[in-house]
Structure 1
Amino acid sequence: MRPFSASLPMALLLAREATMRRFRPSLAQHGLTEQQWRVLRALASADQPIEVSVLAERTALLAPSVTRIVARLADDGMIRRDTVVGDARRSTLALTTRGRRLVTRIAPQSEATYAEIEAAFGADRLAALLDELDDLTVMLDAVDDAREAS
């Protein structure tokens, strides 16, 4: 077995924790959990309303967790849920005006945190890291898809 210090899952978790320590104070200031923020960010970046299953995939959250988070954010007036025409079992989700305003209020703090990270780590290095992580995700997903197909 490779050394613990060379564990990819642990390295990713440690980097995530170091990163989120910088974002959490801003989220807490607005009464949001990390998971709620992920849902709001995903909906803010969507071109159109999206289904819960798509939202779960985009936010790396389990569908039951997304359902609970969405219910809370809908109760708070941040998210609108609409039934899919022709299939009452499915619904799409979108930000309300109130939800968009909240994302807009948090955005400058989020960008300031990104600026801090870029200043310390380097903008080019951060961009390259994000590209590499995206490549890793795409490749591992393709391997999983190939396994499932065989």
Structure 2
Amino acid sequence: MKNEPIDDRKSGMSSASPVRRERRSLAIGLLRAREAVMSHFRPILAARDVTEQQWRVIRVLAEAGMLDATEVAEKAFILAPSLTRMIRSLEERGFIAKHKDEADGRRVLLSLAPPGRSLIDEVMPDSRRVYAEIDARFGAGRVEDLLDMLDDLAAIKLNGKPGGEDA
């Protein structure tokens, strides 16, 4: 059934519809897989009153050290306006700290503060447990292969431009 043509009568689509199911949607498949994985992590984060986006910022800073906001936004896949609000909230909660760049006074650098490091340390046992469950059910080798393939996919440029055509 994966590659069967869509029955216009069942789908409500007219035969003139531009959407055809010639193959499965990569974008939707990736979203479905992300949702399956994140459904295990959301309760862990919610119990600590941290959103997925806030967690990504904290993880990026834990892994990379001190970065400017643009670098954090790129590495955490967060739009700059959302990150600006998030920085304020995370700083108020003591998870991150702001620093002036000595070389460029206009540039603000962000780093993980001690409470942010404590949060990482608190979440990691639960995170490791979830990853172990995923490895057990999906296969550790398959997870590594999938991560390699996703890295390769993220590195390509379709039609000479990042992002390529619409999904």
Unaligned stretches of 5+ residues in structure 1? none
User: Within the alignment, does 1:40 sit opposite 2:50 as a pair?
Assistant: no
Match of 2:29 in 1: 11
In the alignment of these two chains, the number of paired residues is: 145
Q: Is the 8 A contact 1:5 1:11 kept in 2?
A: no
Q: Is the 8 A contact 1:27 1:33 kept in 2?
A: yes
Q: Tell me which of 146, 150, 154 is aligned to 1:137.
A: 154
Deviations 1:121-147 (A, max 9, x none): 0000000000000011111389426x9
- Alpha-carbon spacing, 1:84–1:116, altered in 2? closer, same or farther (3 Å): same
Counterparts of 2:95 and 2:110 in 1: how far apart (Å)?
10
Equivalent position SS for 1:89 = coil
Deviations 1:49-103 (A, max 9, x none): 1011111110111011111111100000110111112433211100011110111
User: Within the alignment, does 1:127 sit opposite 2:127 as a pair?
Assistant: no
Counterparts of 1:119 and 1:5 in 2: how far apart (Å)?
30
Match of 1:61 in 2: 78
User: Which of structures 1 and 2 has the larger relative contact order (alpha carbons within 8 angstroms, sep 6+)?
Assistant: 1
Counterparts of 2:74 and 2:157 in 1: how far apart (Å)?
15
Match of 1:99 in 2: 116
Match of 2:87 in 1: 70
**Higher fraction of strand:** 1
Q: Is the 8 A contact 1:42 1:59 kept in 2?
A: yes
Which entry has the higher C-alpha Rg, 1 or 2?
A: 2
Instruction: Please tell me the residue identity of whatever aligns with 2:44.
Output: S
User: Within the alignment, does 1:52 sit opposite 2:69 as a pair?
Assistant: yes
Structure 1 length as normaliser, TM-score? Answer: 0.90
Equivalent position SS for 2:161 = helix
| Cα offset, 1:27, TM superposition | 0.3
Instruction: Please tell me the residue identity of whatever aligns with 1:14.
Output: R
Provide the identity percentage.
43
